[in-house]
Amino acid sequence: MSQQKILIIPGDGIGAEVTEWGKQALQAIGEIFGHRFTFDYALLGHAAIEATGSPLPEETLAKARESAAILFGAIGHPKYDNDPSAKVRPEQGLLGLRKALGLYCNIRPIQLFDELIGASSLKPEVLRGADILFFRELTGDVYFGQPRGRTEDGLTAYDTMIYSKYEVERIACKAFEAARLRRKKVHSVDKANVLDSSRLWRETVNEVAKDYPDVALHHMFIDTAAMALIKDPRQFDVVLTGNLFGDILTDEASQIAGSMGMLASASIGDSTGFYEPIHGSAPDIAGKGIANPMASILSAGMLLSYAFGLHAEAAAIQKAVALTLKQGWRTGDIADGNTPADRILGTAEIGKKIVENIIQVTQAVAA
């Protein structure tokens, strides 16, 4: 493979701590498999506001467009949580970058490592065997719909939930294509009993489904899906939904994996893809060296697969994380009452274990 440029955007909070280990995993893969990766860095979010006054500097956007893939950390700062009226906010940088790069498809695998069944608040018999792939539309819905704002007296606020047929078609096609390679089942989640935008969503998904007669389509209202996701997660294979509903459901689904620190994601379109853990910036633990880097490392694996088609290399990262857990190593967020104190590691320590295991699992395959 020719030299590929990867842009690392640490973002805010624990972002820099976890992306460092996503990067090191990529470097290990490059050395083992003979791939040439180069890395650059850019600012986004609160860090960018502090440095430049903008949550999405022009330099960051230019670097993003020139890169083959982006590994992102996290975004957000409590300063803005306490001041909801702030006109310049970290999240604007993330939304702006998604829009500028046309990243309309967010892919979030919810996979349960057997060793972490005890880390979830759900019963093991409910969880065991759960394997869900979410397809969340990412550039439409209330996050981008116009008009939006507040009245002059400040007493009324409004957002517009809006979708076009084209937006629904393109994300639906990706979901059905993925289902063909899995268990051939799609659950489309909407609120078609109340919302006109959801009625268009459902009509369009039904039309797309006709091109995939080998895939079973099921429709669910968002409230039913939220309940079913906790009651019986094993019924789901591929879940297709809009931006707002997908945001809520995928965070809820983190309980299946035991922690947000274990969940990776990919945001893709027709050019540069964006790969990130689904967790937030966690300012309360930033700088303490205890953040879980596994979601960033698994996001690096998705980067290899979706950006470069390096599926064996992505599988090596997945196996290395699984091996690390099987060996009993944990970070604090996924430890339980049975975890020995000497098996609970910080960010750098467990990151090193995973990189070592990447080498181990690839050597085992070569042998």
Which active-site residues does the annotation give? 143, 191, 223, 247, 251
Q: What is the distance between the alpha carbons of residues 202 and 176, in angstroms, rounded to a whole number?
A: 14
Q: Is the peptide bond before 10 cis (omega within 30 degrees of 0)?
A: no
Task: Output helix, strand, coil percentages for the chain, rounded to the nearest 5.
Answer: 50, 20, 35
Q: Is there a contact between 20 and 54 (Cβ–Cβ < 8 Å)?
A: no
If you write DSSP's letter for every residue of 310-339 in order, what string do you get? -HHHHHHHHHHHHHHHHTT-B-GGG--TTS
**8 A C-beta contact, residue 186 and residue 240:** yes
Question: How remote is the C-alpha of 156 from its chain's centroid?
Answer: 33
CA of 212: how far to CAs of 172, 184, 185, 278, 303, in Å? 11, 9, 10, 30, 27
Residue 120 near residue 256 (C-beta atoms within 8 A)? yes
Phi, psi for residue 286 in degrees, rounded to 5 = -60, 135
